Structure 1
Amino acid sequence: MVQVRWHKVLLLICVGILVVMVGTAVYTWWRQKDGWCIKFNSDGSEKVLYGAECQR
């Protein structure tokens, strides 16, 4: 029978979650570095625009 070392599994899961969170934060920062705005439509919907799209 294979003995599972739970502390290593939990450590790997925690590191994976941390990598995903940092990656998401960096991607969000990268998208917003050129500026961003929100376009409101008459039907109540919204769309987030980035960079040159805001000038249109």
Structure 2
Amino acid sequence: MLETLEQNKKINLMDLTRRQMREFFAELGEKPFRADQLVKWIYHFGEDNFDNMTNI
């Protein structure tokens, strides 16, 4: 997954499944549960501004 990031410079998190997001965060050295938090912010709260995602 990180190889894709390096090639494209940016990755659209909205294009990833929850499983892919968990793998992506793990490869970045983050805890995989961060993906679950992100999904909740985007799909449950409708938030798209990372500055407003207070627990990430």
Shorter-chain TM-score: what band? under 0.3
Q: By percentage of residues, which structure has more strand?
A: 1
* TM-score when normalising by structure 1: 0.25
* TM-score when normalising by structure 2: 0.25
